[in-house]
Amino acid sequence: MTSDLWWKNAVVYCLDIETFADGNGDGIGDFRGAIQRIDHLDRMGVTCIWLMPFFPTPDKDDGYDITDFYRVDPRLGTLGDFVEFMRVARDRGIRVIADLVVNHTSDQHPWFKDARSSRDSRYRDWYIWSDKPEPDDPNGIVFPDEEDSLWEYDEKTGQYYFHRFYRFQPDLNTANPEVQDEISRILGFWMELGLSGFRVDAVPFLVEQVTDSDDLPDPHEFFACLRAFLSRRDGSAILLGEVNLPYGDLVRYFGNDLGDEITMCFDFITMQRTYLSLARQDGGPLAAALRERPKPPKDSQWATFVRNHDELTLDKLSDAEREEVFAAFGPDKDMQLFGRGLRRRLPTMLGGDLDRIKMAYSLLFSLPGTPVLFYGEEIGMGENLELEGRQAVRTPMQWTPHRNGGFSDADPSKVQIPMPTGDYGPEKVNVSAQERDPDSLLSWITRLIRHYRDCPEFAWGEYTVLDTGVDAVFAHRADCDGETVVAVHNLGETEVEVEITLDGLDSSKVLTDLLVDGTVEISGSGRARFPMGRYGCRWFRASTPETAPADSADVS
């Protein structure tokens, strides 16, 4: 099962080819550079790489404005380089998925250029047109700082076209069977070159009612057909969905009980409640989210994360809760974005407190689901707030303390995206230094990944949120096939004593800590008591004393 459903306890690592590593010295990341750095991901224990868009683009939206779905942007390499990247990743046992951005195209895509040439053009109905703009929903404007409408007037043909995102990204008409067929061809093309699936961008916007037309396909029928096509080509391939909706609406995108639509969905609600818990130093909001979280279908999964490539959205918190998180982690307006999120990375938000940062990632890897890392998280990269919007967290990867942070050997003037400076610049935060430091964040995350892979219960098991009697301490257990693991995290800065009750366990079992040395006894009534340090984290495995993992007491 763990082989067939490889994604259930995968470790997913998101990277942008353009900012990861420059292999030809032109100041821009490329596939050749990424090939040279795959061993870093292999040493960490990454099992799946998620590639952000690498297609030809005018690059007005960091590559999400695409002009050709069947090629590699020449700045980043060739199809031959892509195939070589896939071969090297496969050689290390690492699968690869890529962004599927078919909500829209660039307005420079040949399809749209043809579509706006005439109302009778070949590709006219591949996009959404209206004689007059439909009423705008202010809450539906994704980028309220730059757009004030969802419709843009096209002077040549005298109609408006729909754009859910930027005006230079006209939405595709997914009601058109030709567009549906083309999306399947795009999937099929890249799967033939080795991809194991796709991260589907902005799932709820891919099929939506925006005009009075009645010919829109049912979105769930659309995704079921897409998943069926994927499974026919490769039964183990996945769709990883960006579905930022309340739980009641979100679970429908799994395919309800069938699980025949989106394979994995990002858990935005748990992520946002995690930040509220961190801000309050209180495990309550996180515990409430996990208690509310619906169980996905049998062959589906939640994807967990603490950071992604967009703004850190807090849109599912109340206004008052959002202000709490802003006050704790982004008090300056320049740190906020769209009035709903933060454009900062975790280490800067936590003030560089390494104990607290390590605890947050321990929490990520123990939460029920599949953890997803954004490049640079493993070394604690910071953001560059001098860059606009989301670009603040999309700076080049920091490999060494030397020229251009080891990202490129080009003249610094050719590296177009400046790195952070000061405490988070490459001189102080880089891979090569942390590889040599057993106490570094990189060493810690490598260790977490190893233990996460050794604890399939976290990903596969039934989880239960535990009462700790201490507000700052969050604890949960996961049970699978008669095995039990327990994770306990102190979100507070004060050392505390914790007692938990483990139903079904008694003094015939002990709890052995997998992260630090030590074994905890369980009473006959299933109670276990132990200390939790400042921002402490402990992963326990329950077992008999004879089968327990070793600790220092076993060494005479």
C-alpha span between 474 and 277 (Å, rounded): 9
pLDDT band at 217 (very low <50, low <70, confident <90, very high): confident
Does residue 137 carry a pLDDT above 70?
no
229 and 299 fall within a common domain:
yes
Q: What integer pLDDT is reported at residue 443 of this predicted model?
A: 98
- Pairing status of strand 95-100 against strand 197-200: parallel
**Of the residues 404, 432, 452, which one is the last residue of a structural domain?**
452
> What pLDDT digit, counting tens, does each position of 270-289 carry?
999 999 999 999 999 999 99
Tell me whether residue 550 is in a domain: no
Tell me whether residue 553 is in a domain: no
Q: Which of 198-212, 344-358, 431-445, 527-541 has the lowest mean pLDDT?
A: 198-212
| Mean pLDDT value across residues 407-430 | 97
In the set 22, 73, 171, 201, the catalytic residue is 201
Q: What integer pLDDT is reported at residue 554 of this predicted model?
A: 64
For residue 552, the tally of other CB atoms under 10 A from its CB is: 8
Selection from 114, 204, 115, 205 nearest residue 160 by Cα: 115
- In eight-state DSSP terms, residue 556 is -
Q: What is the CATH number of the domain that holds 412?
A: 3.20.20.80
**At a CB cut-off of 8 Å and minimum separation 6, what does 281 contact?**
472, 491, 492, 493
| Mean pLDDT value across residues 503-508 | 96
Tell me whether residue 548 is in a domain: no
Structural domains counted in the chain: 3
49 DSSP β-pair partners: 13, 96
188 and 327 fall within a common domain:
yes
Does residue 399 carry a pLDDT above 70?
yes
**At a CB cut-off of 8 Å and minimum separation 6, what does 508 contact?**
544
| Mean pLDDT value across residues 38-47 | 98
475 and 519 fall within a common domain:
yes
Q: What integer pLDDT is reported at residue 403 of this predicted model?
A: 96
141 and 248 fall within a common domain:
no
Q: What integer pLDDT is reported at residue 297 of this predicted model?
A: 94
Q: What integer pLDDT is reported at residue 159 of this predicted model?
A: 96
242 is catalytic: yes
Whole domain around residue 381: which residue ranges? 6-103+177-452
pLDDT band at 19 (very low <50, low <70, confident <90, very high): very high
Q: What is the CATH number of the domain that holds 477?
A: 2.60.40.1180
Selection from 399, 254, 373 nearest residue 308 by Cα: 373
CA distances to 210, 383, 447, 448, 528 from 442, in Å: 46, 18, 9, 10, 31
pTM of the model: 0.96
DSSP reduced 3-state for 232:
helix
| Mean pLDDT value across residues 56-71 | 97
Percentage of residues of the chain with pLDDT beyond 90: 89
Does residue 263 carry a pLDDT above 90?
yes
Q: What integer pLDDT is reported at residue 261 of this predicted model?
A: 96
Q: What integer pLDDT is reported at residue 551 of this predicted model?
A: 75
Q: What integer pLDDT is reported at residue 139 of this predicted model?
A: 67
DSSP reduced 3-state for 521:
strand
Q: Which token pair is 80? A: 């031959």
For residue 56, the tally of other CB atoms under 10 A from its CB is: 21
**Of the residues 413, 432, 452, which one is the last residue of a structural domain?**
452
Q: What integer pLDDT is reported at residue 540 of this predicted model?
A: 98
Q: What integer pLDDT is reported at residue 417 of this predicted model?
A: 95
Q: How many residues does the chain have?
A: 556
Q: What integer pLDDT is reported at residue 212 of this predicted model?
A: 64
Tell me whether residue 168 is in a domain: no
Q: Which token pair is 101? A: 């951005």
H or E stretch including 197? Answer: strand 197-200
Q: What integer pLDDT is reported at residue 1 of this predicted model?
A: 63
Q: Which of 8-17, 189-198, 234-243, 539-548 has the lowest mean pLDDT?
A: 539-548
Tell me whether residue 210 is in a domain: yes
For residue 310, the tally of other CB atoms under 10 A from its CB is: 18
DSSP code string of 245-289: S-HHHHGGGGTTTT--S-SEEE-HHHHHHHHHHHHHT-SHHHHHH
Tell me whether residue 554 is in a domain: no
86 and 224 fall within a common domain:
yes
- Pairing status of strand 238-241 against strand 197-200: parallel
C-alpha span between 44 and 41 (Å, rounded): 5
Q: What is the CATH number of the domain that holds 123?
A: 3.90.400.10
Place of tokens 């490329």: 30
357 and 213 fall within a common domain:
yes
CB 539 within 8 Å of CB 487: yes
11 and 70 fall within a common domain:
yes
276 and 416 fall within a common domain:
yes
pLDDT band at 138 (very low <50, low <70, confident <90, very high): low
Q: What integer pLDDT is reported at residue 482 of this predicted model?
A: 95
C-alpha span between 87 and 135 (Å, rounded): 49
Long-range contact list for 297-301, CB < 8 A, 24+ apart?
Answer: 297/254, 297/255, 297/256, 297/257, 297/258, 297/259, 298/259, 299/5, 299/259, 299/263, 300/254, 300/255, 300/259, 300/262, 300/263, 300/264, 300/265, 301/7, 301/8, 301/263, 301/264, 301/369, 301/370, 301/459
Q: Which token pair is 446? A: 């490598």
218 and 243 fall within a common domain:
yes
Q: What integer pLDDT is reported at residue 533 of this predicted model?
A: 97
Place of tokens 């603490």: 306
Tell me whether residue 551 is in a domain: no
Does residue 552 carry a pLDDT above 80?
no
Please tell me the number of Cα atoms within 13 Å of 73 on its side-chain side.
23
- Mean pLDDT, the chain, integer: 95
239 and 334 fall within a common domain:
yes
Does residue 392 carry a pLDDT above 60?
yes
**Of the residues 452, 486, 509, which one is the last residue of a structural domain?**
452
155 and 278 fall within a common domain:
no
Q: What integer pLDDT is reported at residue 548 of this predicted model?
A: 82
pLDDT band at 148 (very low <50, low <70, confident <90, very high): confident
79 and 210 fall within a common domain:
yes
Q: What integer pLDDT is reported at residue 215 of this predicted model?
A: 65
**At a CB cut-off of 8 Å and minimum separation 6, what does 202 contact?**
103, 142, 164, 165, 242
C-alpha span between 552 and 352 (Å, rounded): 31
In the set 62, 81, 242, 378, the catalytic residue is 242
CA distances to 29, 339, 355, 367, 429 from 352, in Å: 28, 25, 9, 23, 11
- In eight-state DSSP terms, residue 164 is S
| Mean pLDDT value across residues 308-314 | 94
Tell me whether residue 43 is in a domain: yes
**At a CB cut-off of 8 Å and minimum separation 6, what does 179 contact?**
126, 172, 173
